Amino acid sequence: MDLGYGHAPIWFFHQPLLEKALREGLSRFPAAELRTGTEVESLEQDGAGVTVRYHTSGVRHGVRARYLVACDGGRSTVRALLGIPMEGRGGQEPWIAISGTVAEEDAPAECHVVCDPVRPGFVGRGPVGRFRWEFRLRLGETGEEMTQPGTIRRLIGPYVNPDRVTVERAQLYSFHSVVAQRWRVGRTFLAGDAAHLLPPFMGQGLVSGLRDAANLAWKLAWVLQGRAPEALLDTYAVERRPHVRALLEATARLGSVFTARSTPMAWVRDTVLRGLQAVPAARRFVEGFRFKPAPAIEEGWLLGGRRSGRKAAEGSYLPQPRVRRASGQEHLLDDSLGSGFAVLSRGGSPGTEVARELAESLGARAVTVRSAGVPGLGDDSVEDHTGRLSEWFREHGADVAVVRPDRFVFGAVPLARMPELRAALGVEEA
């Protein structure tokens, strides 16, 4: 199911495979270097940069940079050194996570949540025959007891033939619902688990960290290149923290529904869910994760500094339909927008030339959106054969839209408001 952004709302993956691909991918960037087995000891900040002292195998080293981004996990050393407290609830009830592979002919067909008040859990199917089973521990159960082979067989037995399972790992964990009180101290920023820890019920932990990186990376690049004042970096937490808090609260509510201990409450939940299944619109709402808080920006680096309304273009996530190049090749919109800023214009309007001039001033990519059936030349225009982008321009009464590298809309305006858009971007009229 696609919510309009070109991809399914939730994906399952095998973390070791993803991390292997990411590490191998670093070789594409000569400026990137991965140093493993290191432990940070201290950091010092001044007006020009940050100095980090660390050791590897007992040997001390130092490194200095203009800025530091701490993505060092839920037990962040950098966060502790900065004395930043976490807000929320941590170390909640223990669960056991069991990972392994299953012979394909015996593999469960789908993922599902186990809404059992006695033993709530989750059965998740990943790639290449991998599965993950998670169950909440009961009072009095210990980690030593629960990780025994016999106990694991009893836990997964109702869902799969345990004789056909190769268990790779079984470990206990406690989930947290916390967010850092501050995300920036001087020239140091927190991101990912160092800045927030979410319960697993909505699968938003990793992607929240990716959103942090997408928000902060281009801002750091602009400041380092001298294209923006350092104050732009203050918008990182302003833009990201409210969405993380909304996700945290929604995830906690969803978890309380899934893991209700009370038998009467579980009966009410089950009755309501069965009723929702009978209503197609309600079922689509639940199955499509439409209850998940949208990743909108309410305040920050936007036209006007904040959204003008819940349905405003600025601060919204740009839809990503499939489009066609002049050659007839079909692809997702991102393939035409590139990885940086983009300026979109509605084809057939005077805004096309204005958008090109603005894109040139910004160092952005200009893309003209043509209506279905309208011919075009070159890769700087796309055919909106689904009509979604044309509809989006009409909804917002816009001829030109500026899209940030993280795919949030800076602003979308009619031609009459182009001077306002240029001024907000610090671009003089050609």
Q: Please determine, for residue 304, whether its predicted confidence score (pLDDT) is greater than 90.
A: yes
Residue 112's pLDDT band (cuts 50, 70, 90): confident
Q: Which residue has the tokens 């055919």?
A: 383
Domains and CATH numbers, the chain: 94-174 (3.30.70), 322-425 (3.40.30.120)
At residue 80, what is the residue type? A
Nearest to 154 by CA among 139, 171, 135: 135
Span 46-68, average pLDDT? 95
Residue 286 confidence class, pLDDT cut points 50, 70, 90: confident
pLDDT grade for 399, boundaries at 50, 70 and 90: very high
275-281 contacts: CB < 8 A, separation 24 or more? none
**What was the pLDDT predicted at 61?**
94
**What pLDDT, on a 0 to 100 scale, did the predictor assign at position 335?**
93
| Half-sphere exposure of residue 162: CA atoms within 13 angstroms, side-chain side | 12
| Between 253 and 194, residue with greater pLDDT | 194
Q: What is the pLDDT of residue 169?
A: 92
pLDDT tens, position by position, 156-190: 999 888 998 999 999 998 888 899 999 999 999 99
Give the mean pLDDT of 377-382: 79
**In this predicted structure, what is the pLDDT of residue 47?**
93
Q: Is the pLDDT of residue 143 over 70?
A: yes
Q: What is the mean pLDDT of residues 217-232?
A: 96
Largest CA distance in the chain: 74
- The b/e string for 1-36 (b: 16+ C-beta within 10 A; e otherwise) is eeeebeeeeeeeebeeeeeeeeeeeeeeeeeeeeee
Nearest to 185 by CA among 65, 84, 41, 71: 84
Give the residue-averaged pLDDT of 226-255: 93
**Residue keyed to tokens 């031609």:** 415
Q: Say what the pLDDT of residue 430 is.
A: 57
Q: Which residue has the higher pLDDT, 11 or 234?
A: 234
Pick from 108-112, 207-211, 347-351, 352-356: least confident? 108-112
Q: Position 306: which residue type?
A: R
> In whole numbers, what is the pLDDT of the chain averaged over residues?
90
CA dihedral 299, 239, 364, 311 (to 10 degrees): -50
| pLDDT for position 328 | 85
* CA–CA gap between residue 190 and residue 273 (Å, rounded): 39
Does 2 score more than 70 pLDDT? no
Task: Kindly report which listed range (80-89, 100-109, 269-278) carries the lowest average pLDDT score.
Answer: 100-109
Distance CA 134, CA 262 (A): 20
Contact 21, 333 (CB under 8 A): no
